[in-house]
Amino acid sequence: MSINMPQTDTVQRLLRREFLHQTGLGLGSIALSSLMADDGLLAGDAAATPAVLNPLAPRLPHFAGQARSVIQLFMAGGPSQLDLFDYKPALQKLDGQPIPDSYVKGKRFAFVTGVPKCLGTVRKFSRHGECGAEISELLPHIAGIADKITIVRTMHTENFNHGPAKLLAQTGSALFGRPTIGSWVLYGLGSESHNLPGFVVLTSGPRGPRGGSYLWSNGFLSSVYQGVPLRSKGDPILNLANPHSVQSDQQRRVLDAVRDLNTVRLETTGDQEIAARIASYEMAYRMQSSAPELTDLSQESQQTLDSYGAKPGEASFANNCLLARRLVERGVRFITLFHTDWDHHGNKGTDLQEGIERTCREVDQSCAALISDLQDRGLLDETLVVWGGEFGRTPVGEQRDVIGRDHHIDAYSVWLAGGGIQGGQTLGETDELGFYAQDRKQSFAIHDLQATILHCLGLDHRKLTYRFQGRDFRLTDVAGEVIQKALS
């Protein structure tokens, strides 16, 4: 259903003026350049195109990047790389034995105390695809796309508590107040979607991703860059639906009156903020129809639904993966999916037996389906997909209800696929117990991964800066090297 907007003389005049404004010809051109200076765009980056009144307007990258969008599959809690991607025969042999002191001298763990004992995996690993990537039986579908992904087995991070580690993974700092990667990307590139937010967050799993809004915060960037959670129950976006029993024609009548009253006020005060307000209301109205259309999975073929394991109306990671593809199709820049419950310490329900099996079942098929589906639709080349948690899990066991693994920060696995990434390879080797990277130079930090993600989008992580409190801040702080070998 579409409703025609009456184009009154005032609106015509307004549109004309906005055109002048946008082309920098009108009276507002000076105000415009000062607005841009506010955003740090003129100072920070000459390649950036004008933001005009809309700070979300698309901007050119620093150089031609392969990817236009990012789907981040955040496996909250810390998946056990040793049961999924990093097979260690020596660890099997030493199972139950104390780990040599040289590994753990002076080492702090979140929970493990006493003399830590090695814990081998009970999972069978085999080689997959032409590349022969070693992947465990827990992830049969992901194994099926081995040739499309690059596994990095030697990631490391700095903090072994979930909260700060997630913060670091998302913002490049374990301190509060910094923007998350989605906000940085939106700030750098703007959004190509005119009726959906540019940075969307989807969550699934038994509970929210603990840490909540920190993980999609705009930090010190303008809050127009904050992530917008898309909800699986109720309105997809908060307050998206008209108030109960308000019909859409009634809503439109109210909106028309609002627009006309705002236009009168714009004439009186000459404040361009009012023009921006009018535009915001129109976008909100468009969102009211585009967001429900977006989340209506019944439009998808049964074949597609089955491939993801998605069921319309259900709150699941599978549905979220399918939604992520639909968001990419609609020009949304950055999509973060959080799936919780990878924290397999060995408590009842969160263990390395049924616990990890269940979590793997929840994500495996839909992750693989997402990659294949993007490829079938010709979107994989321009969509970067990143899979991983805030850290991995220890090669030593942790005794709880049953034996499990503690948080491990020195070596863990992630994988990337799609825009800008050379699929079909495994990077980095851990030592024989999977504790550290074999070669320090092949150990990758969070900032390296972030630099790589930005690189795939055509952004130079050293140039994507924002001046705050007298300093040019970066997502990658003062570090970060693009993981060149991962690139296509």
- Between residues 124 and 441, which has the closer beta carbon with respect to other proteins? 441
- Between residues 150 and 217, which has the closer beta carbon with respect to other proteins? 217
Contacts of 233 (CB under 8 A, 6+ apart): 315
- Between residues 114 and 470, which has the closer beta carbon with respect to other proteins? 470
Contact between 94 and 145 under an 8 Å Cβ cutoff? The reply is no
d(CA 220, CA 217): 9
- The residue from 63, 257, 299, 348 that contacts other proteins (CB under 8 A) is 257
Instruction: Specify which residues 150 forms β-bridges with.
Output: 416, 425
- Between residues 125 and 334, which has the closer beta carbon with respect to other proteins? 334
Closest of 319, 333, 258, 331 to residue 290, by C-alpha: 331
- Between residues 89 and 212, which has the closer beta carbon with respect to other proteins? 212
Is there binding between residue 182 and other proteins (CB under 8 A)? no
- The residue from 105, 233, 440, 441 that contacts other proteins (CB under 8 A) is 233
For the CA atoms of 410, 417, 314, 193, what is the dihedral angle to 10 degrees? Answer: 120
Is there binding between residue 237 and other proteins (CB under 8 A)? yes
- Between residues 78 and 423, which has the closer beta carbon with respect to other proteins? 78
- Between residues 164 and 423, which has the closer beta carbon with respect to other proteins? 164
d(CA 340, CA 206): 7
> Segment 271-290, which members bind other proteins (CB under 8 A)?
271, 273-274, 276-278, 280-281, 283-285, 287-288
Contacts of 41 (CB under 8 A, 6+ apart): 48, 50, 51, 59
Contact between 382 and 65 under an 8 Å Cβ cutoff? The reply is no
Contacts of 417 (CB under 8 A, 6+ apart): 145, 148, 149, 150, 371, 380, 384, 385, 387, 423
Is there binding between residue 245 and other proteins (CB under 8 A)? yes
**Contact map string, positions 110 to 129, toward other proteins, x by CB under 8 A:** xx------------------
- Between residues 171 and 365, which has the closer beta carbon with respect to other proteins? 171
Do the strands 383-388 and 199-204 form a parallel or antiparallel pair, or are they unpaired? unpaired
Is there binding between residue 197 and other proteins (CB under 8 A)? yes
Is there binding between residue 246 and other proteins (CB under 8 A)? yes
> Segment 407-446, which members bind other proteins (CB under 8 A)?
407
Residue with tokens 């700070």: 55
> Segment 462-481, which members bind other proteins (CB under 8 A)?
469-471
d(CA 309, CA 362): 9
Tokens of 14: 């307004």
Is there binding between residue 108 and other proteins (CB under 8 A)? yes
> Segment 8-37, which members bind other proteins (CB under 8 A)?
27-28, 30-31, 33-34
Is there binding between residue 228 and other proteins (CB under 8 A)? yes
User: How many CB atoms are located within 10 Å of the residue 378 CB?
Assistant: 8
- Between residues 285 and 415, which has the closer beta carbon with respect to other proteins? 285
Residues contacting other proteins: total by CB under 8 A? 80
* Smallest distance, other proteins to C-beta of residue 110, A: 3
Q: Is 236 helix (H, G, I), strand (E, B) or coil?
A: coil
In 87-180, which ranges are E strands?
A: 125-128, 133-136, 149-156
- Between residues 298 and 469, which has the closer beta carbon with respect to other proteins? 469
Contact between 342 and 78 under an 8 Å Cβ cutoff? The reply is yes
d(CA 417, CA 380): 8
**Contact map string, positions 124 to 163, toward other proteins, x by CB under 8 A:** ------------------------------------xxxx
Of 246-254, 348-356, 409-417, 426-434, the window that binds other proteins (rule: CB under 8 A) is: 246-254
* Smallest distance, other proteins to C-beta of residue 248, A: 12
Q: Which ranges of 172-271 does DSSP label H, i.e. alpha helix?
A: 181-189, 248-269
